[in-house]
């Protein structure tokens, strides 16, 4: 009877968790994430050695830490991807409340590690960046509110989600962390668009973003310095952008050779924000294109699977997670080639960073959970008017 109604084979209730997960998960996306993690370890072997030497640590100290953090991220990814959408939503909303409170308390208990932006909590042996964990959990909370607004007699979820977005963007801008603020605003805007927002409201939102950027430029020296550095026609070869662009140019198509790159000795953030410059110099354009292809595969396959999804919450949340994942990668690489102002944003699963890796594992785990195949009719069948 179920096959007649839904047109798909029902999942047997007694099926073990692991076989059911393996049969329904997007294995291509999972393989791409594992390959990105492997690329991160490979590039970390080159990029983090100079930093370890400068700090008087063993050569592969940061690589070992990245492997540990990456292992925790993969565990989080696998566990989260096995959960039901309902369980993901419940845990994510609780996580969002915790991350939101942690972000609000940063001005009082956080530290900047000498970088001029209070973004971390330091615990001596490790540090935590709340905004990394806030991003995926915020997407789930906002998608839940937007989906609830579509129910008859439902709450004004779009308005509530907009209020949350404005609050988060303002707190991030105060750190200052304009890159993460833009990413949160973009993720919310994509979900709002997919949820059926009128074009006039989207145009008005874009106008508000432009006005906000002008205000930030006039009021924030940090923001103005980043924009001026991006707009200037000449790049100082002794700056991070100068080193990165020169490294990319020197790499050519096939790179200068494994371990032969020089940019890692000059860039203080070669293992984090500018890891793509190390890849371009040592492995060339071929490696960069391969990395771009891996990210694009995850995003495109996620969107294709979400198009078939009937549940508005799953569709909105999955779209927000996939869009945010892809755009963060684009921003990181765009900064390195000077297509975008410097943002201080990591390359997901490739850059070094405990908070970034673990939060990325949770985010992609949620995405894989939402894109698993489920016994339901496809939304395309409804649009084409097929009988069910």
Task: Kindly tell me if the per-residue pLDDT of 260 is higher than 90.
Answer: no
pLDDT of residue 385: 46
Taking phi over 0 as left and psi of -120 to 50 as alpha, with beta for the rest, 221 belongs to alpha
pLDDT of residue 14: 65
Residue that wins the pLDDT comparison between 372 and 195? 372
Distances in whole angstroms, Cα of residue 55 to Cα of each of 33, 62, 266, 268: 31, 11, 14, 11
Distances in whole angstroms, Cα of residue 60 to Cα of each of 39, 50, 53, 65, 259: 16, 10, 9, 9, 14
Of how many residues is the chain composed? 388
Lowest mean pLDDT among 6-10, 90-94, 323-327: 6-10
pLDDT bracket for residue 235 (50, 70, 90): low
Q: Name the average pLDDT for the chain.
A: 85
Q: Rounded to whole angstroms, how far apart are CA atoms 362 and 76? A: 6
pLDDT of residue 257: 83
Residue 278 CA from chain centroid, whole number: 21
The average pLDDT across 86-96 equals 96
Dump pLDDT digits (tens) for 15-35.
Answer: 788 899 999 999 999 999 999
C-alpha closest to that of 259 among 43, 7, 3, 19 = 43
Dump pLDDT digits (tens) for 111-123.
Answer: 887 777 788 898 8
Task: Kindly tell me if the per-residue pLDDT of 292 is higher than 80.
Answer: yes
pTM for this model (two decimals): 0.88
pLDDT bracket for residue 90 (50, 70, 90): very high
């Amino acid at each position: 009877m179920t096959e007649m109604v839904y047109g798909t084979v029902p999942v047997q209730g007694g099926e073990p968790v692991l076989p059911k997960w393996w049969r329904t998960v997007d294995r291509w996306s999972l393989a791409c994430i594992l390959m990105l993690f492997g690329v991160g370890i490979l590039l970390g072997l080159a990029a983090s050695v100079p930093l370890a030497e400068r700090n008087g640590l063993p050569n592969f100290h940061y690589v070992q830490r990245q492997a540990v953090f990456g292992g925790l991220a993969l565990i989080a990814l696998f566990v989260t991807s096995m959960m039901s959408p309902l369980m993901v939503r419940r845990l994510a909303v609780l996580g969002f409340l915790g991350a939101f409170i942690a972000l609000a308390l940063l001005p009082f208990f956080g530290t900047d590690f000498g970088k001029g932006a209070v973004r971390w909590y330091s615990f001596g042996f490790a540090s935590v960046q709340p905004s990394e964990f806030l991003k995926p959990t915020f997407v789930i909370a906002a998608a839940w509110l937007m989906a609830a607004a579509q129910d008859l007699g439902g709450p004004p979820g779009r308005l509530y989600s907009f209020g949350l977005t404005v609050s988060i963007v303002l707190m991030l801008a105060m750190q200052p962390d304009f890159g993460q603020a833009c990413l949160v605003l973009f993720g919310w805007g994509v979900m709002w668009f997919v949820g059926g927002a009128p074009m006039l409201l989207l145009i008005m939102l874009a106008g508000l973003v432009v006005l906000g950027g002008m205000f930030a430029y006039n009021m924030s020296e940090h923001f103005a310095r980043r924009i001026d550095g991006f707009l200037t026609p000449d790049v100082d070869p002794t700056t991070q952008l100068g080193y990165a662009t020169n490294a990319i140019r020197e790499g050519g198509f096939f790179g200068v050779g494994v371990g032969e790159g020089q940019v890692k000795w000059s860039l203080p953030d070669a293992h984090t924000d500018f890891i793509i410059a190390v890849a371009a110099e040592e492995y060339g354009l071929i490696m960069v294109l391969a990395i771009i292809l891996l990210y694009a595969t995850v995003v495109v396959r996620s969107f294709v699977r979400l198009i078939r999804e009937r549940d508005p919450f799953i569709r909105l949340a999955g779209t927000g997670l996939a869009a945010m994942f892809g755009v963060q990668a684009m921003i990181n690489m765009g900064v390195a080639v000077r297509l975008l102002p410097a943002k201080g944003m990591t390359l997901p699963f490739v850059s070094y960073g405990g908070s970034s890796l673990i939060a990325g594992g949770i985010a992609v785990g949620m995405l894989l959970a939402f894109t698993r195949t489920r016994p339901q009719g496809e939304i395309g069948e409804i649009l084409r008017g097929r009988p069910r």
